[in-house]
Chains A and B, each alone.
Chain A
Amino acid sequence: MSNLGLRNVLSPPVLAISTILLLAGWWLDGVWAKAAMTAASVIVVLDVMRRLREQTVILQRRQADEEARRLDVGVLKEVGGLSGDRLRQATMQLSELKSTITDNIELLGKAFFALSAKTHEQNDLASEIFTKVKGKHSDADGDTLTIEEFAKSLDKVIGTYVELLINVSEKSVNAVHRIEDMVGHIDQMFGMLGNIQEIADQTDLLALNAAIEAARAGEAGRGFAVVADEVRRLSRSSSELNTQIKEKANQTKVAIGKVRAIVGDVASLDMKEALNARSFIDQMLDSMSELNAEVNQSVLDMKHLTSEIKQSVDMSVRGLQFGDIAVQSCEMLEDSLRGVVEVQHDLNDLLNVAGTSSAQAAQTNLLSRVGQVRQAAADSANRISASVAKAKSADASQAAEDDIELF
């Protein structure tokens, strides 16, 4: 409010005119002086009245402004109160979010580490299968017989069997050859027996001739006839004996023939069984090696898959470490919100003292708070980006390595 001085009440031209009129009234006499004095008084009064009116209008306007400002402060307080509530709510939600993230990351981390351990176990199992299928004994005693070894033993057994069979055939054929030799000898014997028969026949004929000659000699040849008769009887006996020998030799030949047939049977074994057994073993070994190859391939695939799973798990674990960054971000966000809440608090203080003498101090306080919060926000942003960059570079360098480094 300005103090009411003379210069403030009267405008300079009014002051000048009224001064001139007063000087004229003082200097003049009589009616003119009165008129001049009166005129000056009237002008001054009129001007003072106009001024008063103006001041009144200004005062009224100021009052209205004051009211309006008071109204604005009310709205601002209202808004401030609301945003304060929302900010507190947001802070609470944020801390809930942070704890949820932390808990779940911990859970996921445990699960992934367990998964990683399991893939190790799986890999070991795969290696064991690989070794077993390959037929290498992992145990030192070597009791276990692999299928391949079994097949090889079987093959050896069949080899021995075939060898035995061939040996028997060789011996049997040799025996048959000897039998054939024997049959040849017997056939020669038959020829000799034929000669003996011939001799007997001739002897018989000779004896007959001798008997005829003895009969022609009459009484003198009687003795000779007896001899001739005896010779004939002997030749017939020898012929009979010859026939018997022939018969026996024939029987022998038949018997030898039977022996030959039996030995022949022994010699003649079908090789098909051995051949089939052998090719069965071969097939078995072939399918074994095929199976081995397949199992080997499968085990290799499995190992490959396991290492891929491990890589994925490691990647996931590294991904979880980005979760740590999320938590850090949450914390920084919390800091920021806290800063904003403080600013809001200070603003509220300012609004409370608005229009009083302590408003200036409150305003300075608020501005310095804003400065602090702004600085804190910039620091947070820097920290976050540094953290992310570090994580990314760590991720890139970890891609080639297996171990997980926590950052």
Chain B
Amino acid sequence: MSIDSRLSSDGKTLTIGVRGRFDFSVVNEFRGAYEAKGKGVHYVIDLKQAEHIDSSALGMLLNMRSFLGGDEANIQIIHCAPGIRKILEISRFDKKFQIS
């Protein structure tokens, strides 16, 4: 499994960790990770172990955001490698997600 999701002990934060390639191959797993929990939770996408992302990952993140209510969605992307961070920046994701 290159996607793992952990719910915090208080049940308010769901951390979705991506390992290896964050691309189309994980589209279902990734979708499953947030659709199961739905709205009302703070989501954290941990890219600490992600090696590469492509536009489908961006598409997945945007679909996740739409699914969670667009501007209402509370999604944080953490542990971005410099290359990944650059991609997120040129895609202007810093305006839609909290990136750190």
A residues engaging B (CB < 8 A)?
Answer: 158-159, 162-163, 165-166, 168-174, 176-177, 180, 264-265, 267-271, 274-275, 278-279
Contact = CB atoms under 8 A, between A and B. Distances in A.
Given A173-B27, A180-B31, A166 B58 contact: yes
Contacts of B87: 271, 275
Nearest to B54: A268
Given A173-B27, A174-B63, A180-B28, A267 B55 contact: yes
Interface in B14-71: 23-24, 27-28, 31, 53-56, 58-60, 62-63, 66
A169 B92 contact: no
A173 B90 contact: no
B86 interface: yes
Interface string B66-96: 1000000000000000010011001110000
Contacts of A158: 90
A176 B63 CA distance: 11
The 8 residue pairs across chains A and B that have the minimum distance between CB atoms: A169-B59, A173-B59, A267-B56, A169-B55, A170-B62, A268-B56, A269-B55, A264-B24
B61 to A, nearest CB: 9
17 contacts: A159-B90, A162-B92, A163-B92, A166-B55, A166-B58, A169-B58, A171-B59, A174-B66, A177-B27, A264-B27, A268-B24, A268-B55, A271-B54, A271-B55, A271-B91, A275-B90, A278-B86
A interface SS class:
helix
Interface residues of B, number: 21
Contacts of A279: 86
A177 B63 contact: yes
Nearest to B63: A173
A275 B55 contact: no
A270 B54 contact: yes
A165 B55 contact: yes
Given A173-B63, A268-B55, 15 more contacts: A166-B55, A166-B59, A166-B91, A168-B59, A169-B58, A170-B59, A170-B63, A172-B59, A173-B27, A173-B60, A174-B66, A264-B24, A269-B56, A271-B87, A278-B86
Given A176-B27, A177-B31, A264-B24, A169 B90 contact: no
A80 to B, nearest CB: 103
Contacts of B60: 173
Q: Please indicate which of the listed interface residues B23, B66, B90 has the most CB atoms of chain A within 10 Å of its own CB.
A: B90
Given A267-B24, A271-B87, A173 B92 contact: no
A176 B31 CA distance: 11
Contacts of A159: 90, 92
Contacts of B92: 159, 162-163
A205 B77 CA distance: 60
A333 to B, nearest CB: 84
Contacts of B58: 166, 169-170, 271
A163 to B, nearest CB: 7
Contacts of B28: 180
